[in-house]
A and B are shown apart, each in its own frame.
Chain A
Amino acid sequence: MTEVSLLSLVKSYGGAPALRGISLNVGHGQFVSLLGPSGCGKSTTLRCIAGFEEVTDGRILFDGKDISRKLPEKRDIGMVFQSYALFPHLTVAQNLAFGLEMRKVPKAQIAERVAKTLDLVQLTPYAGRYPKALSGGQQQRVALGRALVIEPAILLLDEPLANLDAKLRDEMRGFIRDLQKRVGITTIYVTHDQNEAMTMSDLVVVMFDGDIAQAGTPEEIYNTPATEQVARFVGNANILDLPVAASGAGMAEVTLPGGAALSVPAPATPGARLGIMARPEQIALADAGQGHLQGRVTRRLFGGGYIDYEIATDCGVLAVQTPANVLAGEGAAVGLVLDPARLWPVARDAAA
């Protein structure tokens, strides 16, 4: 197990920097996701750690040792590529053996370790097949096996599930997470899918525009996002722009259009305005006239186990998600109940 530290990592291709000095610490055996839209620098970060990109400035440490100037083949990493990058002219077993051959492992040991890893990724019956004779999910597991068989210091995964269909993606998500726990390897996972990042990770690192916007547990990122941008990227978010009526002891009391007051944990001065985030499932529906806020249902989408509503209120159109047993038709007047314990103030975007 290895600890990975990034110290003020800068990567520039001549124009605007792709990475603007990011720092991050990944603990022993942790599963960390780099999450962000395309072009945010998450893949560049991974390629810097792998050694495929030279860092412009800053350092990368594995267990305290600076490896930022080392060649990729000297870094002891296992990497899974989005395209899997299996060697098409080698069988599954030969693909797995490649890294061990490079490490000059004796032949008998290679056979043994390949067999063990094939078992781990459940591909033993396919050892003699060529990659093109395998399904997408099987190819994915070959790529995982090939990266793990060398027992690398860290495992890097670059959007490994992006090429799979939805059902297989869910399966592989669980498979990778279980495997990582079993092997106990420090893992860095790049994805643009917030669902993937949240379900699999110990730590989620949200990146925008070459910088880290927030790093935290999935719960922290979802429930207490640092900015409006993070709040919106990791899930559906209603942001209510409300005036502060009173404040004290780190709490602020905000007033809703109907006159109802709510207190949220934020330092603010009376008269200022606060952006308050409420997730769709944190808002409940009540009869008209009740609750904190009044509105009218403008859209109702039945989702099986839940119903998605769009409700026009004096605070703008809000998204609300309720269990499927709550029934309110389109056009119905409803009251909205906010959960004061889960409201969270977020810094508004400059553009908003």
Chain B
Amino acid sequence: MRLAEALLALFRVLVYIFLLAPIAVVVLASFNAGNFLTFPPQGLSLRWFVTFLQNDVFMDAIVYSAVLAALATAVSLVIGTMAALYYVRHAGKEAETVRVLLLLPLILPEILTAIALLFFFYEIGIGLEHKIALFTGHVLMTLPFVFLNVTTSLQGRDEACELAARSLGASRMTAFRRITLPLIAPGLATGGVFAFIISFDTFGISFILKGTGSAPLPIQLYDYLRFNFTPEAAAVSTVSIVFTLVAVVAADRLFGRKA
């Protein structure tokens, strides 16, 4: 028994190393004092963070990605919640079809969704103008996460609560706002955080559909790495990792136990 437990513990440690080592390497490399992206770092310094903060291209990209993610999340929250309500309460026989269709962007390789959108938007004559294709792609990629999380919190709830509110004099809209919304808030929060992170990090969709002009952070980083090999890229990644971590921890603290 002792041996089995020890082996299990060892296995656990190995899994964690496998998952976390690359992140640790990136973070450590970002504090590199040298001129090249190397590991172990040659001396400790924050100079690459300063370089990054002074680099308008990256700063613009971060803001651009954050705004894109926020807008995509907002639209996904609205559409995803409506879809979840329909799926749980009214879809009946079509429920499974509805679910599969909504989850398709999650099931298909991202690149397929991206190419399909590319064809579609050229076919209808919009092409990659005005970032409409890029935005649509981000909404599609984030929608399943909102849908899944809201569906889960709806399924644990009694539909009679809404009917009870109606019988007490609340209109459909008031019943949704006062009763349903507070009950699915944990699902909305978790789904929203997921959606934001997915949009912030997604590469394939952004790469194919970005068009001309400003680009999201992952694309900018990719472009940068093709011609440069400085620790600045690691600094950008570290900031991005911290960003994601803070969002996840905050969501878990706020809603983790309830969801």
Q: Are B182 and A78 in contact (CB under 8 A)?
A: no
List B contacts of A51 (CB < 8 A). Answer: 166
**Bound complex: CA A54 to CA B167 (Å):** 15
Number of interface residues of B (CB under 8 A): 17
List B contacts of A147 (CB < 8 A). Answer: 167
**Bound complex: CA A72 to CA B175 (Å):** 12
Q: Are A89 and B169 in contact (CB under 8 A)?
A: no
Which residue of B163, B170, B179 is within 8 Å of A81 (Cβ)? Answer: B163
Mark interface residues in B148-178 (1 if CB within 8 Å of A CB, else 0): 0000000000101101111111110010001
**Bound complex: CA A77 to CA B182 (Å):** 25
Q: Are B163 and A85 in contact (CB under 8 A)?
A: yes
A83-B158, A83-B160 given as contacts; is B167 within 8 A of A78 (CB)?
yes
Say yes or no: is B183 at the interface (Cβ < 8 Å to chain A): yes
**Bound complex: CA A79 to CA B162 (Å):** 12
List A contacts of B170 (CB < 8 A). Answer: 73, 98, 102
Say yes or no: is A150 at the interface (Cβ < 8 Å to chain B): yes
Nearest neighbor of B185 in chain A, beta-carbon distance:
A89
Shortest Cβ gap from B166 to chain A (Å): 4
List A contacts of B164 (CB < 8 A). Answer: 79, 81, 85-87, 146
**Bound complex: CA A100 to CA B170 (Å):** 10
**Bound complex: CA A147 to CA B160 (Å):** 14
Interface size grouping (class) on chain A = 20 to 34
Q: Are B168 and A150 in contact (CB under 8 A)?
A: yes
Contacting residues of chain A (121-164) with chain B, CB-CB under 8 angstroms: 146-147, 150, 156
List A contacts of B168 (CB < 8 A). Answer: 73, 78, 98-99, 102, 146, 150
Contacting residues of chain A (62-96) with chain B, CB-CB under 8 angstroms: 71-73, 75, 77-79, 81-83, 85-89
**Bound complex: CA A256 to CA B174 (Å):** 67
Shortest Cβ gap from B157 to chain A (Å): 8
A98-B165, A99-B169 given as contacts; is B160 within 8 A of A85 (CB)?
yes
List A contacts of B158 (CB < 8 A). Answer: 83, 85
Shortest Cβ gap from B185 to chain A (Å): 9
List B contacts of A102 (CB < 8 A). Answer: 168-170, 174
Shortest Cβ gap from A15 to chain B (Å): 14
Say yes or no: is A103 at the interface (Cβ < 8 Å to chain B): yes
Nearest neighbor of B159 in chain A, beta-carbon distance:
A85
Nearest neighbor of B183 in chain A, beta-carbon distance:
A89
Nearest neighbor of A78 in chain B, beta-carbon distance:
B167
Q: Are A89 and B182 in contact (CB under 8 A)?
A: yes
List A contacts of B171 (CB < 8 A). Answer: 71, 73
Q: Name 13 A/B residue pairs within 8 A (Cβ), A-sorted.
A: A72-B163, A73-B166, A73-B169, A82-B160, A83-B160, A85-B158, A85-B163, A87-B165, A88-B161, A88-B183, A98-B178, A99-B168, A99-B169
5 additional A-B residue pairs with CB within 8 Å, beyond A98-B168, A146-B164:
A73-B171, A86-B161, A87-B179, A102-B168, A103-B169
The 3 nearest A-B residue pairs measured at CB: A102-B169, A99-B168, A85-B160
